[in-house]
Amino acid sequence: MTARVVAQGTFDLLHPGHVHYLREAKAMGDELHVIVARRENVTHKAQPILPNRQRRDMVAALAPVDEARVGHPDDIFAPIEDIEPSVIALGYDQHHDADAIEAQLTERGLDCAVRRASAREHRYDDELLSTGAIIERILNRRG
């Protein structure tokens, strides 16, 4: 049986932190399925700059990713029910509450572990590992 892993995120302006997260997620199983958050569903931070389809296409082009899709408009767990993963991999700094996710999975009858990826350390002084930091630098230098 194939062990599927689900990773999810906004993935606005891809950076080395995203690649690290997706590599670690892929290592948790055999197939990596990525759910890219719909712009309209992002409420915990500024909405993405790039359109849903463009962010999905960029994530799908990364080597660790077997399949990428845009999230469901109303039910964030609907794609997880379709994929039937063995693991949901959370990014080290994602705002999600692992216990709340596990409770929702149990309520829906999904047998799935929730694991968190590690942080990616900076490899050089001016390396940017967040979309916010990239935007801030662009605004400082060109704004």
Residue 17, phi then psi, degrees to nearest 5: -65, -40
The answer to whether 79 is annotated as binding is no
The answer to whether 15 is annotated as binding is yes
Q: What confidence category does residue 44 fall into, taking pLDDT thresholds of 50, 70 and 90?
A: confident
Beta-bridged to residue 89, according to DSSP, are 7, 115
| Interval 20-48 mean pLDDT | 95
The answer to whether 131 is annotated as binding is no
Tens-digit pLDDT profile for residues 82-120: 999 999 999 988 888 889 999 999 999 999 999 999 999
The answer to whether 10 is annotated as binding is yes
The answer to whether 106 is annotated as binding is no
The answer to whether 17 is annotated as binding is yes
**Mean pLDDT (the chain, rounded):** 94
- CATH 3.40.50.620 matches 4-142: yes
Tokens representing residue 39 in the block: 């712009």
Q: What confidence category does residue 65 fall into, taking pLDDT thresholds of 50, 70 and 90?
A: very high
| Interval 57-84 mean pLDDT | 96
Give CA–CA dist 136/66, Å, rounded: 31
The answer to whether 75 is annotated as binding is no
Q: Fill in the amino acid letter for 9.
A: G
Q: How much is the pLDDT for 28? A: 98
